[in-house]
Amino acid sequence: MQCPAEGRTATLETMLNRQQPLDDFYAIIPAGGVGSRLWPMSRAEAPKFLHDLTGSGNTLLQATVERLEPLAGRQRIMIVTGRAHRSAVEEQIDELADHNIVLEADPRDSTVAIALAAAILRRREPDVIVGSFAADHVIDDWRGFRRCVSEAVAAARDGFIVTLGITPTEPAIGFGYIKADGLADIEGAPSARRVDSFVEKPTIDVAKEYVESGDYLWNAGMFISRADVLLEELAHSEPELAEQIEELAAVWDEPEKRGPAVDRIWPQLKKIAIDYSVAEPAAARGKLLVVPGDFDWDDVGDFSSVAKLHNHGRRDRLAILGDGGTVLADSASGVVVSQSKRIISLVGVKDIVVVDTPDALLVTTTEQAQRVKQVVDAIRRSGHSGVL
């Protein structure tokens, strides 16, 4: 059973139709991650989430905020990002209150980003339910997405940590999977299932078995729970980290104390993904549920995704991103990113990826786009990190 399909309660339907925010819900958007495989468009200084990768006119971050607004309300969306990105984020997101932006001294992986936001929010609002949603994913079916989140919030009220698992549309080898167990039978969350286990990125043969079985869902890294439940789970698995985060949260809203606390504590914070610090331990203790979602979802991992999203799957089209120069194409398909002021001519190149920036040029194909990360590693080793 899938959450957008059957078995929804009347209350849920009513809420969706009225599209009123959920009272006790707060959305957290961890906006980090450079997106190496999108180099040289995405870089340390201008990471993936600050770009419009779909041709929608919105950046990925803007689209994420808009998608969450009907669920949480505009004033109940918190963005966690690096200090270097503050001005870019504030420029892109209107009416972003100071108390809704958490600036990281340096990146400390997803546990710190999400748990710190959760801890800050719990001090402001003890019963708050938080949901964390990456700033750089693309979902077009907002209605389907909201329906799933609403179920997840209902289950979170019952004390569960809930993740959204995406129904696979193909045997992808680039994602981790969640093995779902039986229905959890939660009021307001009819499609929520217990979680058997998390599994790492599979081989193609294993991925095919997963998809056929119907029990495996893509791990999209979206987690919904009461803030106190999440922090309690963290305290079990990573007590020291949980304590440091609480210490930071305790002074976060006191400007004269926050700085010294960050200076003292931040460098000691452990880098660990929330999958390992919270989700997997919770699953092992039977506290994790998954709400399956068959809405579209893309993590825009590489230029192949960019081309697909921009060209709506049509392989004969050429997506043009950026407004730098003039692009002249003759029998070309794929994607071109134009960030310099030059004339770009593409002649008879199929499934091509051309990324033209003032100091770096990338030419690859949609099929080879995954390998861009290796190039980035090579550039780092070769001492040209200035362009990364």
Site for its own copies, rule CB under 8 A: 40, 326, 328, 330-331, 341-349, 352, 354, 356-365, 367-369, 371-372, 374-375, 378-379, 382, 384, 387
The nearest distance, CB 207 to its own copies, in angstroms, is 22
The nearest distance, CB 43 to its own copies, in angstroms, is 12
Instruction: Say if CB 300 and CB 306 are below 8 A apart.
Output: yes
| Closer CB to its own copies, 237 or 357, in the complex | 357
Burial of 140 by CB count in 10 Å (0-12 exposed, 13-18 middle, 19+ buried)?
middle
For residues 127 and 248, give the distance between their C-alpha atoms in angstroms, rounded to a whole number. Answer: 19
Task: Tally the C-alpha atoms within 13 A of residue 188's C-alpha that lie toward its C-beta.
Answer: 15
| Closer CB to its own copies, 36 or 64, in the complex | 36
The nearest distance, CB 137 to its own copies, in angstroms, is 24
Helix (H) or strand (E) run with residue 163 in it: strand 161-166
The nearest distance, CB 40 to its own copies, in angstroms, is 8
The nearest distance, CB 128 to its own copies, in angstroms, is 45
| Closer CB to its own copies, 43 or 310, in the complex | 43
Report residue 133 as tokens: 């949603």
| Closer CB to its own copies, 5 or 343, in the complex | 343
Instruction: Say if CB 281 and CB 236 are below 8 A apart.
Output: yes
The nearest distance, CB 166 to its own copies, in angstroms, is 28
Closest CA to 47 of 119, 2, 120, 104: 104
| Closer CB to its own copies, 104 or 302, in the complex | 302
For residues 166 and 134, give the distance between their C-alpha atoms in angstroms, rounded to a whole number. Answer: 14
| Closer CB to its own copies, 169 or 345, in the complex | 345
Report residue 98 as tokens: 């100071």
